[in-house]
Amino acid sequence: MKTTLLQPGRYYHIFNCAKSGELLFNTEEDFKFFLKLYKSHIVPVAETFAYCLLQDHLHLLVRIRETAQGSLFKPFAILFNAYAKGYNKQNGKEGRVFKFKLKQMEIRRETYLSEMIRYINQNARRHGVTEDLTQYRFSSYRATVSDTSGFVDRKELVQHLGQGETLVRNLNTPVDEQRVKMFLLED
């Protein structure tokens, strides 16, 4: 079995979805449980630039911290396994919840990074969940455009996309789907 290597200082788009077309998140509590686990297992080893949790899949854009050591795949494996166990217990199910152990793509260029930040922040609108991204609570968009505290590295995002109205305009600029196609990871 091949272990996915993640390296300090590098950016990654991480994607996962439910197995067999099922749901990953049935209730608001499921979303909150995942985010609680994320804060516990991923925030210590990675800076978060964007995320979007939808009922059947999720996207994360992270940079592994320079200080992170050891098997950097392990915190993600723990996150997905802990969520699956809790989800199964809550819903009276058994077995796999996620389709993948960890599906990821390294992002090496600034232009792709900015496009993927937009893509992930716009994902709830793209899938018809909401028209007003500020109203969707399980995406990084609201924390990014406001001064609310959270685990999104807003300070770094401002360097990439600007601040205030410029940030909002940049986050809402249509994504060049052709440019980011290779990073989407969706089947």
Q: What is the pLDDT of residues 17-55, one digit of tens each?
A: 888 888 999 999 999 999 999 999 999 999 999 999 999
Q: What sections of the chain are H helices per DSSP?
A: 28-41, 74-91, 110-121, 123-126, 141-145, 154-161, 165-172, 177-180
pLDDT band at residue 101 using 50, 70 and 90 as cut-offs: confident
Which pLDDT does position 99 carry in this prediction?
84
In the predicted model, what is the mean pLDDT of the chain? 88
Judged by DSSP in three states, 21 sits in helix
pLDDT at 149: 64
User: Does domain 11-182 correspond to CATH entry 3.30.70.1290?
Assistant: yes
- Cβ–Cβ contacts within 10 Å for residue 175, how many? 18
Q: What is the mean pLDDT of residues 129-151?
A: 88
pLDDT band at 184 (very low <50, low <70, confident <90, very high): low
**Residues 76-97, buried b or exposed e (16+ Cβ, 10 A)?**
beebbebbbebbeeeeeeeeeb
pLDDT score of 3 more than 60: no
pLDDT for residue 183: 64
Q: Span 77-84, mean pLDDT? A: 94
Per the model's pLDDT, the better-predicted residue between 37 and 147 turns out to be 37
